[in-house]
Every structure is written in structure tokens, then in C-alpha cells.
Amino acid sequence: MMLMVLSTGCAEQGAPPVERPSSETAAPLGSYTFRLDSERSDPGEFQLSEADGSVRVLTGPAGIAFRSADQILSGDMRIEATFAQFGAPVGYREAYGIFIGGRDLESADQEYTYLLVRPTVDYLIKRRIGEVLETFVDWTAHEAVRGVEVEGDEPENTLTVEVVQGETQFSVNGTVVHTMPAAEARPYGVAGLRANHRLDIRVTAWVLENLSTDS
């Protein structure tokens, strides 16, 4: 298991300043925890900084970043984040997005469901259970996804997951791209960010909202 607590600092152009962890064990360095997909990856190559309500993530290796307090355990809800991507060439196929339903994220039995997009204007929905990946929607092109059409494009994509009356809706830029029963999506738990290899993304407008009217 590769698990780290990320430090936060002031984001600037280029690589943000980060306090690099010195080992492969969890350390109290800040508000975000990250977990890399591979134990062989260098944790110093997954960088995150936070400033002015945004989060900047630069990878290296693929992984997830989350705060344990960012969770909803029942009822109707909405999770949303807006991503801007920098430095991706035309045809770049590495992806980023949000995850929901995070459970046991610090153990070998980790679980979460995730919605990703990539600059080739397609999206993916999967669930991880330990080392097993279950595909709900394989890579599918959709006009709602904004990508890199010409060199220098910096696309922005808003990803949303809503649970309403037992149905889970996955949306990109306000367009529903997939719907499935909440019992299948398993959306309740920790919500956070996922970034694949060699990405430079900024995350803004993070929303974690319980829509249930029950007190």
C-alpha cells in the first residue's frame, strides 16, 4: 500500500511548492491524503498544493487524493468538481476525474467508484475493489467532454455525480452521460480526486452536498 498525507501551499505557475514525504508511511503533513496505484511508484512525484479555493495536482504516478471528512453516507447527494488541464498534447490519453463511495481507502480492501475524462473527448466509469477493477462504462466518446483539439488547448471539464431517489447520475459539463441504480454504483462514503500518469490539472468549485430534506 502506498499512502501519504499531502502538504498544502501556495500554487503558482508551473510545479507548485510541496513538502515531499520522506517515507512510504502516512505522515501528518497536511489536509489531503493520497494513495498511489503502485507501491513501486515514487511518492515524491505526486504533488499537490492548495490556494485560493483551488487544488493543483501534478503527477508522476497515478493515484487518488482525498480528505476523510469529505463524505456522505446516505440520502440524495451531489459531488462536483471543475478541472482545468495544462500542457497536454493533441491525442494525449491520460485521464482525471472524481471518485465517490470511498471505503477502506487506507487498506488493501479499498473501494471507490470513479468518473474520468481525458483529452481525447471520452469518459470512463469504473469501480475499484481492492485490486479488482469493475467496468461500468468503458472509454466512450461524448460531445459533452472538452478535449485538446489543437496544441495549446487547456480544456475545462466539470464532472458531477448526483444521487436522487435511488438513482445515480454521472454528468460531464451538465450533460448526463450515464445513469445506474445507487445500489450498483455504491456512491456512499468518501469522495475525492483521481489523477492518472503525467498530468498537470487544477481543480476548482469542489462541491460536496447532501440534498436530502430529512433532518
Average pLDDT of every residue of the chain = 87
pLDDT for residue 1: 45
Instruction: Report which residue type is found at 39.
Output: E
Give whole-number Cα distances, 10 to 14, 15, 54, 203, in Å.
12, 11, 10, 14
Q: Where do the domains of the chain lie?
A: 2-210
pLDDT at 52: 85
Q: Which CATH number does the domain 2-210 belong to among 2.60.120.560, 1.10.287.3510, 1.10.40.50, 3.40.50.1860?
A: 2.60.120.560
Q: Report the alpha-carbon distance of residue 148 to residue 156 in Å, rounded.
A: 10
pTM for this structure?
A: 0.86
Point out the residues of the chain with pLDDT beneath 70: 1-30, 213-215
Confidence (pLDDT) at 214? 58
